[in-house]
Chains A and B, each alone.
Chain A
């Protein structure tokens, strides 16, 4: 079992729709959870981080964490073509471990 698992996608959504990205992790001791966006050929850019169970909202982005179920998700509202990228889930236990990423395509 991989430490951090994500559906590779691609996830295709129409412009203006909600994109839902999911991630599960295996280490119950993980404390911090991050979502990064990576455009092709570029390095990751931090979008959201969440430490506590529940929801955290920042603009069009909402991160959701459920430690009991060991999953973290990212919702992107009003998706835009510029949101098309690979979204990396990362989990911090003793070190930051990345999932393989989910490709998101927003169609105009």
Chain B
């Protein structure tokens, strides 16, 4: 299957600071990538759809000014959590569909802890 990487795998930051998470498709090009958030013992919740060369599409209830998404190339999307607060602590996972296929391949995830 296709390979998606994320960096960093975990990060601890102080409240009020910003954190950038990178998502890369390693062996395929992805015009679309998806960002999910998963709280403990809960399922994945789609936050936003990242579109290469255009603005991201955010799900209802997700603050676009707080979760900045940039998809500058066909292999890289970034999620920046601005002015992070402890309630933003979560497992952030990106995914990308492989070309014209419907299957989505997930990155390994980034565990964010805001102190």
Interface residues of A (CB under 8 A from B): 31-32, 34, 36, 41-46, 49, 51, 88, 92, 95-101
Of residues 1 through 32 on chain B, the ones whose CB sits less than 8 Å from some CB of chain A are 1
Query: Interface residues of B: mostly helix, strand, loop or mixed?
Result: strand
Which single residue of chain A is at the shortest CB-CB distance from B57?
A: A95
Among B1, B42, B45, B93, the residue within 8 A (CB) of A43 is B93
Q: How large is the interface on B (under 10, 10 to 19, 20 to 34, 35 or more residues)?
A: 20 to 34
Of residues 28 through 87 on chain B, the ones whose CB sits less than 8 Å from some CB of chain A are 34, 42-46, 49
Interface residues of B (CB under 8 A from A): 1, 34, 42-46, 49, 91, 93, 95, 102-109, 111
A49 B103 Cβ-Cβ under 8 A: yes
Among B43, B45, B106, the residue within 8 A (CB) of A45 is B106
* A97, B44: Cα distance in complex, Å: 8
New A-B pairs, 9, CB < 8 Å, besides A32-B102, A34-B103, A43-B91: A31-B102, A42-B109, A43-B106, A43-B108, A44-B93, A46-B106, A51-B102, A96-B104, A98-B45
